[in-house]
Structure 1
Amino acid sequence: MKNLKMIIRSLLKHKLFSVLNLLGLTIGLTCVFIILAWIYNETEYDKFNTNYTDIYQINFKNQKEEMSMAGTPNPLAPVIEDEIANVKLAVRLRNAPGFAFKYKENMYFEENGITADPQLFRMFSFQSLYGDPVKALEQVEGIVITESFAKRYFRNEDPLGKEIQIRGKEFVTIYAVIKDLPSQSHIQFDYVLPQKLLEQYHFCGLLWGDPNFRTYVLLTPGSDPENTGQEITRVAKSNGMPHLQSGEISAYLRPLGSIYLDYSVNNRLGETGDFRYLYIFGSVALLILLLACINFVNLTVSMFAKRQKATSVAKVCGASRKTVFLNSIAENAALIIVSFILAIIVIGVVRAPFQNMIGKPFNEHIFTPRFIGIMALVLFFTLTLCTIYPALVFSRAKAIELMNRYNKQKSGVLKSMVVFQNVIAVLLIVAAIGVNKQMQYINHKKLGFETDQIAYTYLRGNINQKISVVRHSLSENPNITEISLKDCPPFSQVNGTVGISWKQNGEWQNQNTAHPVAMETTRIDDHYLEMMNVEFVAGRNFSNEITADKQNYIVNEEALRLMGLTDPVGAEFSLYGKKGIILGVIKDTYFKSLHQKVNPQVFHLYNNEAEESYFSSLFFRISGDIPATIEFVENIWTENNPGIPFEYHFLNQDYEDLYKKDNQIAGILNFFTLLAVFIACLGLFGQAAISSENKIKEIGIRKVNGAKVAEILTMLNKDFIKWVVIAIGIATPIAWYAMNKWLENFAYKTTLSWWIFALAGVLALGIALLTVSWQSWRAATRNPVESLRYE
């Protein structure tokens, strides 16, 4: 109790520095715990599955180009399940097209569905509420729905055995209801349709050359995934999968635990994380913690001169070095523990806003025993870092030295720590500026086509059967200037295949070859490329007035590069055996995210729009009153497609959403950079206060001898300026390397101009000067008589 009173008395005696230490450390620990909670959440994906360690996704890797893909052909799963002994189960998954579902008066578009084999519910631990989901997917007309899906349509009714209308015409029967999927599942869906239904309606390419599925396998415990991958390569190759014939591409098994965070392979079955962001923000957390601890140590040790009298008296009265050491540790530990408790309280207050910032929940497991253990380790690290060195400084000085105002603690160690904290600040400022510059580059880069004022709707129900009537009705509105049709939005992909060939030097290429070229194939009408204002580098656009154009093709520059054609216009081309000629070549256009390179693309016309445009997207450009025009379009939709809800999207908004996660990361980095700079400012402020007090006699003497305020300010600030300049020199090459590594995440990226580092340095220097100048100004303008009175 006596020691506790002494600790409290000491902390209250030096209120300013106690508050600075408490505030800096509380902010630092709060940032660290929030970041660690997010990292913890990201690393817990898919661990709810009972077979977590034995489930793998089949991927293919090109050894020559060091590229991987998750797409697998439709026939692969049943073949390897039959032919490879240690494959217990194999299941195919594919995103389902958006369907309109209807039960009585309840009708919604459902965009979040998949098709799958019955083995899905034997392999993954999705909890069933009613019915048997395995048997449900064994029926062509069966469907499995989630609890939320059931509530939308059936309210309090029992959904089992009920028929629900799909696509405005067919009915499927609900044979099972499962619990909503855990948020930490990389596979997300609201309903599952049978693989048999997909095959019946042939929604996509189903041959060995069409990698349109995701295939998962459950291995027998103890199996070697590397050997199994080699077996899958052998089986797929023997069955004629064209991608593998060259020997450069082979199958490998990606563990379930690494799927969500593996940015290099797109899953397209739910949200994808990025383990690089874990490293980035893990580093930010460590830097902030080090920054807060350095501030604490610097302020504590810099207080040595103010506390040396009490320490010297204690030593004269017989206090041993061990006693002084333990008392110092106890006093600092008390402050750290209070900061720890305050940080926990702050987390409870700010976690909801932070969840909104990152767009997902992250606190479901924040107070589990495992995470509490992580927090305890952080506390132990902080206690060790913040208490040992100050305690050694206080305890090792002799009493006589203390009486003589021993002040050798202003050593190279302290100066090095001040430089290091400024290095951290500069690093984070450079990172924030660089990330924001890349976001500006993305948001303002010319994509090669237009997105402004273009809206679109998915053709659902039976409206595709009346597409010509709908086109004519829309064209009567003067606010709608252009109309076009495509099988999907430009940022999406319906089909990719190696089932293409072209004629060169009298011979057909890409047939029975060891190195087949794969391309994205897209149906469009003859208005689409013109509406999007896509630039042609050769040839011409399609024309519906020319019947032969329905057999012809348009390719982009990347496709042309892969084909190696020097005179492409008029060259013979074939898709799935349908032969025609290349009419034109469009400029490489950034239809997809700038994270990936431009795909080789082949465009071809609808042969019969009324039959082939189901699932397609109808685009219309609005040049006038947008709300009134949307209402007009909705009325036409209702007239021609009764009972199917109308939904629309704006293309420019969708492209902004492609970078939503990147913008969130930029915002989070900005937020933590500001907090880190604030923590650094707290330390500089305290250092400036201590420095000016330690030099109070010198300042008084200089002023008596005629020194000007500017000279006093220069004397007091020059050390801080020197430390920041040294920090800028150290931080610049480190920041340059780190930013280059981060920019590798983008296929198309900005440049790291010199001004980024110059601006970061100027900001760091300016912030430092603003922080210390207040204390310096107070000391420089103080009456010299008051200054000398202290002596």
Structure 2
Amino acid sequence: MLRNYLLVALRNLYRNKLYSAIGVIGLSLGVTCCLLSFLYIRHELSFDRFHANGDNIYRLIQTESESHSSSAGSSSTSPMLREAVKTGISSVTQATLVTGSEHVVSRGAKSFTESVLSVDNDFLQMFSFELRGGDPATALLDPSSVVVTEDIAQKYFGSGDPIGETVTILLGETNVDLIVSAIIEAAPVTSSIQYDCLISASLLKHTIPEEVTQSWTNVLVSTYVQIPPGTDIGSLERAMSSHITGLASKDHPDLQLSFSLQPLADIHLEPRYEGESISSTDPIYHIVLSAIALAILTIASINFVTLSVGRSSTRTREVGLRKVLGARRGQLMKQFWGEPLLLCVAAGILGVALTEGFLPTFSELAQRQLSLDLFTDWTILPTLLAVVLITAFLAGIYPAALLSRLAPTDAMRGTAAFGGRRRIIQTLVVSQFALSVFLILSTLVISSQLDFVRSRPLGYDKDYVVSVTTNTEGEEAADLVARFRNELAGQPGIVDISGYSYPFGQSWLYVRIPDEGGTTVLIGEDVTGPAFSIAGDTAVYFYLNWIDPYYIPTMGIKMVAGRNFSPDYSSDQNGAILINETAARHLGLDNPVGQKLPKGFSDATIVGVVEDFHYYPLHRKIDPLVFHMPRHDNLSSLFEIAVRVRSDDVPATLARIENAWDRTSNGKPFAYEFVDETVDQQYADERRWREIVRNASALSILITCLGLFGLTSLAAAKRTREIGIRKVLGATESNIVRLVSKEFIVLAAIGIAVASPIGYLSLSRWLDRFAYHPSLGWETIALAGSVSLAIALTSVSVQALKAARANPVDSIKYE
């Protein structure tokens, strides 16, 4: 019996090759999208789950408030926090601070910039990063120790044993010799913590002044703790907040500190705190990708179901004959479920093959290392089977249930009623078009926002500016900038040269100024929004950068009042500041030049006002900004050099810059990037998702067109005799095309009407993520609808025109 069912199913599928091919192709594309989405989301969910103690490791999130203001939660904390919770909170079994940056590592003639993390000795016992040599309990006990990855060991020591050997790391202005105590595996790509070298946190004294590290209000590091399983998190957070506030009150009586525990596995999955460098992903994109994959699979499944339902009425005589010959209802239902199941299995196999083919391209687009292995990964096959079985069930249930209950006499006469079939097909086609229109509209809106970002004036000139990292600080950085400037001055292709502290695309320091009576608090790295209110009082955040007198002209920033810093005014070094227009408005100063900022901020005088410019991405509004001359300490040194070059022959100019660097930097690595590329990188997520949505839209259009083509062909086939008679009676080709296509065009228009308000509301919310964006007008929705309608009309008309041009004699002979 099973063999007979299989043969009949294969015969029917072969007889209807067009509809079978449309169903398999569309469904396989849907399966491919679902598998790619599944692989991406599973990869994101796997971050930091390889640690043996991962369920018991938390990162501390700090919130601070005073009598007049409050800050949002920050993943950056005081360097004093680790010792305080380790010794003062009994539930904390281990704790480590983590902070990192790029440092020059050298051995002999080899010198490179590497990622160096400063951590406590507990780090290697808390986290499951495997050591290839050395003891995790003692590897970092000695402050003169360094733990390096295998790649770093190979780079500096070749094939020899590096343990016990010495490397030199430039920390601040000091070259520190460190002894390799252990070799550690490279952090997996699914780790939120990445490193090349690990050094003892006690060496922070070389890069951060002691008075800065010994303050509860200077938040410079991340703090991780490990607690026993089953600990009451709420009670621990309250105990920790009370204990630390008590310690901080000695120096800051009005300061209230509260702490929350962020699970290690949640760090990558929650929106990144401003100012932190740890990799994270916005959870909304998981939802978006899942929705896109499900939308495409739904469109493909609708095609499959509508064609299956549409063809059901052509098989009534077959059902009647089988019933006369003794077939039971259950047997008929198995047969009508078997055919879509065969097609779904074929689509699943083809979908896996397409996934393998598209995976490298998708991995590059998503910037993830994704892989597909059906035989070793037990999660993929069940997912694929679920998609196949559910689709086969939905495609077969209505025809199977309807046809199997027909009376044999009605079925043999062909008089069976299918009143609900048409409504089902209409509903499915409308849903399909609504989904396609939404994806097309999403593509238009995301592209419009990216075009807006590219074309909006930023208030400075980002093009043809090379930013070179000094890899040093303090007086040495100032001397290096001066030597470099003198070496490059007057060379071909060089326009301007300047030194500055913090580049675009990186967090700038800021101070929080309460609006009445409070004290100014130096926060450190940017971890909050521009302002917060408590009981009607507002604290404003003023962002800081330290620049030399050449920065303003080099970056093309306009002065709107007063003057720029000048080397001719010795008082500018410590007694002058520049502010932007937004800062002047927040301060309520109509004529800010000659004025001073609120008490506690600075004794410096405002000598000039610069035009507002976007030093942060367009996701956020322009905040108050203060420029200082460099103080040559660890926070305000000239960490970067901006070199504006001419647009002609950039490679040759870049070579001259590198040669000048080699002659003036005392062997430091030449690390540079173009400012325009750094700025563009701030919108990498949006560009990536535009490509994903654009490809999804193209797929949805393709699948929808295939479905409409199949349904139009089916509708024309059912009305072959009617079309022939109408042509004999004088109907033109346009009349026939209108007859066949009218219903589908109306359904497409209804789909557009359904999708438009939903798309408008959801995409308006997405645009609100940007402080600056174009308005979403009805013309954009009309364009998406027009594109969809034109595609539908083209797809339907092709098949309708074929039916209209058929010989009426052959049409009348039909059936």
Task: Tell me whether the two structures share a fold, i.e. TM-score over 0.5.
Answer: yes
Separation (CA, whole Å) in 1 of partners of 2:432 and 2:783: 18
2:807 corresponds to 1:783:
yes
1:269: how far off?
A: 3.5
Q: Distance in 1 between matches of 2:730 and 2:70?
A: 73
Confirm whether residue 434 of structure 1 aligns to residue 434 of structure 2: no
Q: Aligned pair count?
A: 785
Deviation of the 1:377 alpha carbon: 2.9
Aligned counterparts, 1:263-662, within 5 A? 263=271, 265-266=273-274, 268-363=276-371, 368-405=377-414, 406=416, 408=418, 410-460=421-471, 465-493=479-507, 495-498=509-512, 510=520, 518-551=541-574, 552-560=576-584, 562-563=586-587, 565=589, 567-573=591-597, 579-607=603-631, 613=637, 615-662=639-686
Rounded Cα–Cα distance in structure 2 between residues aligned with 1:216 and 1:79:
12
Query: What's 2:219 paired with?
Result: 211
Distance 1:185 1:571, change over 3 A: same
Q: Which moved more, 1:201-210 or 1:714-723?
A: 201-210
Where 2:604 maps in the other structure, the secondary structure is strand
Deviation at 1:773, TM superposition (A): 1.0
- Residue 15 of structure 1 aligns with an amino acid whose one-letter code is K
Single out whichever of 446-455 and 214-223 deviates more from structure 2.
214-223
Is the 2:462–2:555 contact (alpha carbons within 8 Å) kept by the matching residues of 1?
yes
Deviation at 1:760, TM superposition (A): 1.0
Q: Given the superposition, is the C-alpha separation of residues 465 and 536 from structure 1 closer, same or farther in structure 2, using an over 3 Å criterion?
A: closer
> More deviation in 65-74 or 115-124?
65-74
CA change 1:624–1:267 in 2 (3 A) is closer
- Aligned pairs for 1:155-234 (under 5 A) are 155-167=158-170, 169-202=175-208, 205-206=212-213, 207-234=215-242
Kept after mapping to 1: 8 A contact 2:579/2:606: yes
- Match of residue 99, structure 1, among 97, 103, 128: 103
How far apart, CA to CA, are the structure 2 residues paired with 1:241 and 1:684? Answer: 71
Deviation at 1:33, TM superposition (A): 0.9
Indicate yes or no: 2:702 matched with 1:678.
Answer: yes
Distance 1:610 1:49 in 2: 34
Aligned sequence identity (%): 28
For 2:141 and 2:554, the matched residues in 1 are separated by: 44
Pair 1:607–1:194, CA change in 2 (3 A): same
Name which of structure 1's ranges 582-591 and 671-680 shifts more when overlaid on structure 2: 582-591
Partner of 2:20: 18
Is the 8 Å Cα contact of residues 546 and 629 (structure 2) preserved in structure 1? Answer: yes
- String of CA shifts for 1:208-256, please: whole Å, max 9, x gaps: 2222222222222212223322333323333337999778874222222
Aligned residue for 2:261, secondary structure, equals strand
Aligned match of 1:260: 268
In the aligned structure 1, how far is the partner of 2:59 from the partner of 2:100?
Answer: 16
Residues 209 and 242 in structure 1, CA contact (< 8 A), matched pair in contact too: no
Checking the alignment, whether the CA contact within 8 Å between 1:208 and 1:241 is kept in structure 2 is no
1:93 CA drift (Å):
1.6
Preserved CA contact (<8 Å) 2:477 2:639:
no
Q: Per-residue deviation at 1:719?
A: 0.3
Q: How far apart, CA to CA, are the structure 2 residues paired with 1:311 and 1:66?
A: 73
On the 8 A contact 1:266/1:272 being kept in 2, the answer is no
Corresponding residue for residue 793 of structure 2: 769
List runs of 5+ in structure 1 lacking aligned partners: none
Letter in 1 for 2:711: Q
For 1:160 and 1:719, how far apart are their aligned partners in 2? 78
Q: Is the 8 A contact 1:245 1:515 kept in 2?
A: no
Partner amino acid for 1:152?
A: K
Residue 163 and residue 597 in structure 1: after superposition, are their counterparts in 2 closer, same or farther (change >3 A)? farther
Query: 1:722 Cα deviation (Å)?
Result: 0.5
| Structure-2 separation of matches of 1:245 and 1:559 | 29
Q: CA deviation at 1:318?
A: 1.9
Find the residue that maps to 1:87 and give its secondary structure. coil
> Residues 189 and 539 (structure 1 numbering): CA distance in 2 closer, same or farther, change over 3 Å?
same
Comparing 759-768 and 235-244, the one that deviates more: 235-244
Deviation at 1:651?
0.6
Write out per-residue CA displacement over residues 528-568 of structure 1, whole angstroms, 9 at most, x where no aligned residue: 12222223444332112111111222233444455555553
Report how far residue 426 of structure 1 moved. 0.9
Letter in 2 for 1:408: F
Structure-2 separation of matches of 1:723 and 1:555: 59
Deviation larger for 698-707 or 253-262: 253-262
Question: Residues 327 and 501 of structure 1: is their aligned pair in 2 closer, same or farther, counting only changes over 3 Å?
Answer: closer
TM-score by length of 2: 0.90
Q: Which moved more, 1:570-579 or 1:704-713?
A: 570-579
| 1:239–1:449 CA distance, 2 compared to 1 (3 A) | farther
SS in 1 for 2:241: helix
Equivalent-residue separation in structure 2 for 1:632 and 1:225 (angstroms): 58
The separation in 2 between residues aligned to 1:548 and 1:737, in whole angstroms, is: 55
Cα deviation digits, residues 396-439 of structure 1 (max 9, x gap): 22222223333626421221111111111111111111111112
**In structure 1, what residue type is equivalent to 2:85?**
I
**Is 740-749 or 429-438 further displaced after alignment?**
740-749
How many Å separate the matches in 2 of 1:192 and 1:574? 41
Task: Judge conservation of contact 1:325–1:391 (CA < 8 Å) in 2.
Answer: yes
Per-residue displacement from partner, 1:146-192 (whole Å, max 9, x unpaired)? 22222222231212121112239432222121111111111122222
Distance 1:127 1:313 in 2: 71
Q: CA 1:297–1:51 in structure 2 vs 1: closer, same or farther (change >3 Å)?
A: same
1:95/1:268 contact within 8 Å kept? no
Q: Give the partner amino acid of 1:175.
A: S
Q: Quote the offset at 1:384 in angstroms.
A: 2.6
Deviation at 1:516, TM superposition (A): 6.1
SS at match of 1:189: coil
Task: Answer whether contact 2:269 2:281 (CA < 8 A) is retained.
Answer: yes
The counterpart of 1:753, out of the listed 761, 777, 791, is 777
Any idea what SS the aligned residue of 1:46 has?
coil
Q: Identify if the C-alpha distance between structure 1 residues 508 and 771 changes in structure 2 by more than 3 Å, giving closer, same or farther.
A: closer
CA distance in 1, matches of 2:18, 2:131: 59
Contact preservation (8 Å) 2:22, 2:710: yes
**Hey, what's the Cα distance between the residues in 2 that align with 1:648 and 1:484?**
14
Q: Which residue of 2 aligns with 1:53?
A: 55
**1:144 corresponds to:** 147
Shift of the 469–555 alpha-carbon distance from structure 1 to 2, 3 Å rule, reads same
**In structure 1, what is the equivalent of residue 84 of structure 2?**
79
> How high is the TM-score relative to the length of structure 1?
0.93
Cα gap change, 1:201 to 1:103, in 2 (>3 Å): same
Shift of 1:105: 3.9
Amino acid of the structure 2 residue aligned with 1:199: K
Name the amino acid aligned to 2:629: L
Query: Partners of 2:388 and 2:465 in 1: how far apart?
Result: 54
2:403 counterpart letter in structure 1: F
Name the aligned partner's letter for residue 381 of structure 1: I
Match of residue 11, structure 2, among 9, 12, 17: 9
**CA deviation after TM superposition for structure 1 residue 717, in Å:** 1.1
Are 1:557 and 1:588, in contact at CA under 8 Å, matched by a contact in 2? yes
1:329 and 1:422 map into 2 onto residues whose CA distance is 26
